[in-house]
Amino acid sequence: MKVLITGSTGFVGRYIVNALLSEGFEIASPVRDLDKLRRLYGDKVKGYKVDFESKASIRKAFEDFDPQYIIHLIGILYEEQSKGITFHKVHYLYSRNLYEVAREFGVKKILHMSTLGTHKDAPSSYHKTKYRAEQELIKIGIDYVIFRPSLILGPEQRLFFDMWRITRYIRVIAIPDLGNYLFQPVDVRDVACCFLKALTQQKVSGRIYEVCGNKKVSFKELLRDIFSYWQRKVLLLPVPKAFMYVGGLLMERIIEPPPFSSDQMLMMWRDNICGLDEDVEPEGVKKLCGREPIDYEESLRWSLQEFEKRLVS
């Protein structure tokens, strides 16, 4: 089967691509950086340089590769206004263009990466544009599966890089409110498993799957677990979320990308855990992979061990 996958060089994309390659899928990827794609996969993945703002550019890849399935992973965590990188463009416009071209070429199924917290009433631009992209896919008329993961654990998780870098020099970290905001972290290998299974199982089409691990942990607990593994004593300083929101607005005007943004504070409108919404499947890993998620402690330990190997390599 022929699969076109966006975001193949990113954190999650690498695991999904390798899972598909191990099962014999023929894979192509539209990217901005063909050299990076070749460094990662050699000639195992066919590459196309594509501008997602242009449907004509997307069509060229479709005309040559003629995919049967699409996996769409592209997303950003913060905007870079000076470069024209916005949530509206990357989350919504890119998705709409890709899906309209997919309809023209008779694609059989689309797997779409969204996120927990996506909801029509969500206050953040991040979640609002994610929701609009989901709705665009639902109405396009192609079989689809939408995934909404919580925080994804893996060696490439950006939180590890940020915390490692900052706490090498400053042993104080500001956390919103009391740090009681909950995550339900999921292992990146479980996420890859979900995508692989959804690609081949017809019965899962037309569904939204939440993808979570087996344990709910607060932001404070997660950070303490990370610093404990590194054997670093770090003071976690509670700061009112309203103050951090204002601080994010200031940071966005001074530093690009900012260490945190005002929109990230709005993303914390409710806990990042499965089971808060109706009409979605809250146990994605169990339903699709047929097993319990990888244990939180095991996942975090593996992620941090592999992260440290990358620091010295």
Contact (CB, 8 A) for 185 and 151? yes
Say whether pTM exceeds 0.85: yes
Give me the CATH number covering residue 143: 3.40.50.720
2-5 vs 26-31, strand pairing mode: parallel
In this prediction, residue 255 has a pLDDT band, given cuts at 50, 70 and 90, of confident
Q: What mean pLDDT comes out for the span 32-38?
A: 96
Tokens 């909404």 locate to 148
At 144 the pLDDT is 97
Give the tens place of pLDDT for each residue, 278-308: 999 999 999 999 999 999 999 999 999 999 9
Helix (H, G, I), strand (E, B) or coil at 174: strand
Give the tens place of pLDDT for each residue, 148-193: 999 999 999 999 999 999 999 999 999 998 889 999 999 999 999 9
Contact (CB, 8 A) for 211 and 149? yes
Express as a percent the part of the chain with pLDDT over 70.
Answer: 100
Contact (CB, 8 A) for 10 and 192? no
Q: What's the rounded Cα separation, in Å, for the pair 89 and 92?
A: 6
Cβ neighbours of residue 82 under 8 Å, at least 6 residues apart? 256
Cβ neighbours of residue 175 under 8 Å, at least 6 residues apart? 219, 220, 223, 236, 237, 238, 239
Instruction: Name the strand (E) or helix (H) holding 29.
Output: strand 26-31
Most confident of 97-111, 189-203, 256-270: 97-111
Alpha helices in the chain, H assignment, sequence order: 11-22, 34-41, 55-65, 87, 94-104, 125-140, 158-167, 188-200, 219-230, 241-254, 262-267, 284-289, 296-312
Domain that holds residue 255: 2-312
Dihedral class, residue 231 (left if φ above 0, else alpha if ψ from -120 to 50, else beta): left
Q: How many domains does the chain have?
A: 1
- Answer whether residue 201 shows pLDDT above 90: no
Cβ neighbours of residue 260 under 8 Å, at least 6 residues apart? 244, 247, 248, 251
At 202 the pLDDT is 73
Quickly list DSSP for 228-245. Answer: HHHT---EEEEE-HHHHH
Cβ neighbour number for residue 286 with a 10 Å cutoff: 15
At 258 the pLDDT is 79
How would you write 265-312 as a 3-class SS string? HHHCCCCECCCCCCCCECCHHHHHHCCCCCCHHHHHHHHHHHHHHHHH
Give the tens place of pLDDT for each residue, 105-149: 999 999 999 999 999 999 999 999 999 999 999 999 999 999 999
Cβ neighbours of residue 312 under 8 Å, at least 6 residues apart? none
